[in-house]
């Protein structure tokens, strides 16, 4: 059985594979590492299949061709599912990750007993190509900064990493990555405590085109949302709920400013409240509690309106009780009102989380 399984996700990387596989083999020649190479290809229209077949005559390559599913992250998971090595290593096929660093990553796992090892651009000794433009550097730094609530490693966006197959199997059922950042997904969900960053030089691809696009950047934001809900659970849901609630204030004011031109004030106020409440419902259904967006919408909407009224009731009750009971708040009505708003929001959130947008139990949950 090989000690190391090297997973390489590909799409139209035939020319790069011709260089990458021999370099991997050469990098391992001077070590005592036995390895398998698993290429997971998303049914590329180029010569990937033929190239892998030729390379397999000289190198330990297994090609997995996926014809139904697409995406780098799920390709990596498919490779890990097929791997048999004690340790798993992931790298890109475009030669941006130096195969010569593979023994260093492996050594960190074995000798330093790390839980997770990253081939890092941003630690001392690491570097990127000098011709990286300012926009690319800014994009990388912003993505890294957005990952800070989940990890303090310097290069959490890295696609060159290694960890034990044992850790992977422990969390396999919880993995649901979106986009390209499978390393961050594994880093968070494996709850790795000892992470080692090995410096590498990150090179630009010489063949083919980059897969990074605006769509993938949006996928990264969706991925961060999923990770926040996994790690912080109700705190993450509440923050999203509160932000959407705040947006409803602006929707209410914008709608009221328009409606006052056509309706008398009481009617305009009522309609503006209904509009903001409805937009908040749609946003919460599709963003905050997106897991419940396939449930009957009319039933959810009626329940949501009821939860808003309940929140409003406790909002007013709290403010009035504070003002009537305590002289301190009787002189500070706005503070009492603010506490009432927080109380009402809390009641509204609890009702939304556990009633309006409650997760449906699966058959396995009921068993």
Last residue of a domain, one of 206, 232, 258: 232
Last residue of a domain, one of 192, 210, 232: 232
Structure tokens at 354: 């556990």
| Residue with more model confidence, 206 or 238 | 238
Q: Tens digit of pLDDT for each residue in 110-132?
A: 887 889 999 999 999 999 887 77
| Dist. CA 141–CA 132, nearest whole Å | 13
Residue 93 has, within 13 A of its CA and on its CB side, a CA count of 29
pLDDT of residue 364: 34
Do 38 and 163 lie in one domain? The reply is: yes
Span 256-260, average pLDDT: 94
Structure tokens at 361: 């139990």
Alpha helices of 204-361 — where are they, by DSSP H?
214-232, 234-259, 265-283, 297-325, 327-330, 333-351
Do 294 and 146 lie in one domain? The reply is: no
Do 345 and 225 lie in one domain? The reply is: no
pLDDT of residue 363: 38
CATH of the domain at 68: 3.90.550.10
Do 176 and 317 lie in one domain? The reply is: no
Do 226 and 248 lie in one domain? The reply is: no
Flag whether pLDDT at 140 surpasses 90.
no
Residue found by looking up tokens 């967006």 in the block: 293
Which uninterrupted H or E stretch holds 139?
helix 134-146
Do 222 and 189 lie in one domain? The reply is: yes
Do 84 and 144 lie in one domain? The reply is: yes
What is the number of domains present in the chain? 2
Please give the model's pTM, rounded to 2 decimal places. Answer: 0.82
| Dist. CA 309–CA 184, nearest whole Å | 40
Do 227 and 350 lie in one domain? The reply is: no
Sign of CA dihedral 321, 325, 330, 335: negative
Q: Tens digit of pLDDT for each residue in 55-78?
A: 999 999 999 999 988 888 999 999
Q: Tens digit of pLDDT for each residue in 183-227?
A: 999 999 998 889 999 999 998 766 656 555 667 788 888 899 999
Do 126 and 246 lie in one domain? The reply is: no
Q: Tens digit of pLDDT for each residue in 334-351?
A: 999 999 999 999 999 999
pLDDT of residue 366: 38
Last residue of a domain, one of 204, 232, 260: 232
Do 208 and 254 lie in one domain? The reply is: no
Do 214 and 263 lie in one domain? The reply is: no
Q: Tens digit of pLDDT for each residue in 143-179?
A: 889 999 999 999 998 999 999 999 999 999 999 888 7
Residue numbers of the domain that contains 162: 4-232
């Amino acid at each position: 059985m090989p000690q190391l399984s090297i997973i390489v996700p590909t799409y139209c990387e035939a020319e790069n594979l011709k260089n990458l596989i021999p370099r991997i083999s050469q990098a391992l020649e001077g070590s005592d590492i036995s390895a398998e190479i698993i290429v997971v290809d998303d049914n590329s229209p180029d010569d990937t299949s033929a190239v892998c077949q030729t390379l397999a005559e000289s190198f330990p390559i297994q090609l997995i061709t996926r014809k139904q599913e697409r995406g780098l992250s799920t390709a990596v998971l498919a490779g890990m599912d097929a791997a048999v090595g004690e340790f798993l290593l992931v790298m890109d096929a475009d030669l941006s990750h130096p195969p010569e660093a593979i023994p260093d990553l492996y050594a960190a796992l074995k000798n330093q007993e790390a839980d997770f090892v990253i081939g890092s651009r941003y630690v001392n000794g690491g570097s990127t190509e000098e011709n990286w433009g300012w926009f690319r550097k800014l994009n990388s730094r912003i993505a890294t900064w957005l990952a800070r609530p989940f990890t303090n490693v310097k290069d959490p966006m890295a696609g060159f990493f290694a960890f034990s197959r044992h850790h992977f199997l422990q969390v396999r059922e919880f993995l649901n990555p979106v986009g390209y950042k499978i390393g961050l997904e594994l880093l968070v969900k494996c709850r790795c405590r000892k992470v080692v960053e090995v410096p590498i030089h990150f090179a630009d691809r010489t063949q083919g085109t980059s897969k990074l696009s605006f769509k993938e950047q949006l996928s990264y934001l969706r991925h961060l949302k999923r990770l926040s809900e996994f790690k912080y659970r109700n705190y993450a849901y509440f923050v999203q709920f509160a932000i959407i609630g705040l947006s409803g204030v602006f929707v209410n004011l914008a709608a009221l400013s328009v409606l006052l031109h056509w309706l008398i004030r009481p009617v305009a106020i009522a309609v503006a409240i209904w509009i903001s409440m409805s937009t908040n419902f749609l946003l919460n259904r599709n963003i905050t509690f997106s897991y419940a967006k396939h449930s009957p919408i009319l039933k959810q909407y009626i329940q949501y309106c009821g939860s808003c009224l309940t929140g409003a009731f406790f909002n007013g009750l709290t403010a009035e009780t504070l003002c009537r009971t305590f002289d301190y708040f009787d002189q500070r009505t706005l503070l009492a009102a603010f506490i009432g708003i927080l109380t009402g929001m809390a009641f509204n959130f609890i009702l939304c989380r556990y009633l309006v947008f409650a997760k449906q139990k699966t058959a396995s949950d009921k068993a």
